[in-house]
Structure formats: C-alpha cells, structure tokens
Amino acid sequence: MKQFFLFFIVLAALFIWGCTKSNKPITPPPSDGYQLVWSDEFNYTGLPDSSKWSYDVGGTGWGNNEAEYYTNARLENAEVKDGYLHINAIKEDYQGKQYTSARLVTRTKGDWLYGRIEVSAKLPSGTGMWPAIWMLPTDWAYGSWPDSGEMDIMENLGFMPYWIVATVQTKIYSARLGTQKTSIISILDCYSDFHIYKLEWEASELRFYVDSQLYLTFKNEGTDYTVWPFDKRFHLLLNIAVGGTYGGAQGIDNTIFPRSMLVDYVRVYQKK
C-alpha cells in the first residue's frame, strides 16, 4: 500500500531545496565487503525473466484510487528488448479500466535482508504519470501496512517534473499520521537520461541516493519494530501508476500515451 502526501511534500520542498543538476551517472564499483547476489541485466528479448519477476495484477486502485489495470505477463505492458526492460503505460479499455500498466515484483524470487539495491532507469514524463521503484516486506511479520514497513527508493509525480522522492514508512512514521520520513532531490534530466536509484540498507540505517548523491538517511533508533521493522526480508517492486490520489492530483493528460519507464539493470549486492 502506498499512501503519503507527496503533493504537499513537494510543494514544501520548493521552498527548502534548490535545483541540483545531475550529470550522467557513473557507476562506482561495490564498496569493500559487497558482492553481487542478484541481478537482471535485461540482455534478452520477450517477457521479463519469470524466474526473477512476478506481477501484481488488477485494477483495484491499490489503496490510492489509481486509474490503471496492472496486467499479468502481457507483452504490451512489460517487454524486454534492445537491452532494456520497458514498463509501458497505455491508454486503452481493459477490464473496466481506461489504462493499463505493469507492476513487476521479485517477491519469493528475490527477497533480501540488508544490502545495496541499484536500479538504473529512465523515467516517463507527463501529467498523470507516477513511476516508482520501491520495496515491501515479503512476510509482513509486524502486521499490515504500514507496521511492517515500506522503503520507496524512487517516486516521481509527473505534474511536478524533475522532483525525485525517497520515503520511509513505519508504524510511527507513516502518512497515516503525517510523520513519514521523506526527502526530495531535483534531477533535471530524469526523463531523458538514465540514473541510478539506489538504497543502501544496513542494520543501523537506510541511505537513499540518486547516482552518488545521498539525499535521505533514516537511522535505526534502537527501540522496536514501530520505528525499525527493517530487520526482515523485503522484495523489490517496479511500476508505473496512472493517476490516483497523488499521481492524478492535477488530472491525467491523455495526449501523452503511451509512456514507458526503461530499466537498464537491477543489481543487488550484499556483504559477504
């Protein structure tokens, strides 16, 4: 479940942060002690590798009144070609909805406790787009959302172009209470170039980056799961939502479709 007041957060950030022009990303080698444990380089053609990816399917609104129907292994919405994963949002009538898209998940095929998660992606532009790279608990050991936690590595609202948002949600730091931990960075070529959206997840803290730029740190306060539910395994999600409570706060521009998020690679590292 994804519920937080991105619109209001971004507006507030306009008064706090200045624009930072990000250069084309340069991938640093893993730091000492890290090794690659899971990856998809998308060097094949067709549907995403079924040994690594599954799909969340349906048009329920996903807790945010979203307008799309997420399809299941449908090439039109999730296709690997030319070395990239293409997640495609399309305007079409489908299962009672006016838009389709895909929500890919690694659940039970890629689940991790701690590590470095890197996703190199180019984002879709346009009012109504809401792309996301994020993580949810696999086992929900501490209860339903937000008690078991959520880590949003990258979100972008199309009606507020260039702002990249990272957010952490827990039982006491959540949108439900207006206490979620969020930070924003401006990436002026996020729609025209690839950037590395990265989470470094350790037992002591979470660190969120775009390329080499650290822009959110969330620390383990040493209390209990209400602050730090991040001692259980999580999985990765990649999706484009269309519209919804936040993505559609200024409507949906129907002239922009189709729109795609391109993913160059996903790499997960853990310490030996």
Catalytic residues: 150, 155
Q: Where are the alpha helices (DSSP H) in 210-255?
A: 244-247
Question: How far apart are alpha carbons 6 and 9 in whole angstroms?
Answer: 5
For residue 188, count other CB atoms closer than 10 A to its CB.
13
Distance of CA 230 to the CA centre of its chain: 17
Please give the structure tokens belonging to residue 118: 């890197």
Structural element, H or E, at residue 268: strand 259-271
Question: How far apart are alpha carbons 156 and 133 in whole angstroms?
Answer: 10
Of 119, 140, 265, 129, residue with least CA distance to 197: 119
Question: How far apart are alpha carbons 240 and 188 in whole angstroms?
Answer: 19
Query: Taking CA 205 as the corner, what is the angle to CA 200 and CA 210, rounded to the nearest 5 degrees?
Result: 35
Of 11, 10, 22, 7, residue with least CA distance to 184: 10
Residue reference for tokens 């409570």: 245
Question: How far apart are alpha carbons 225 and 113 in whole angstroms?
Answer: 15
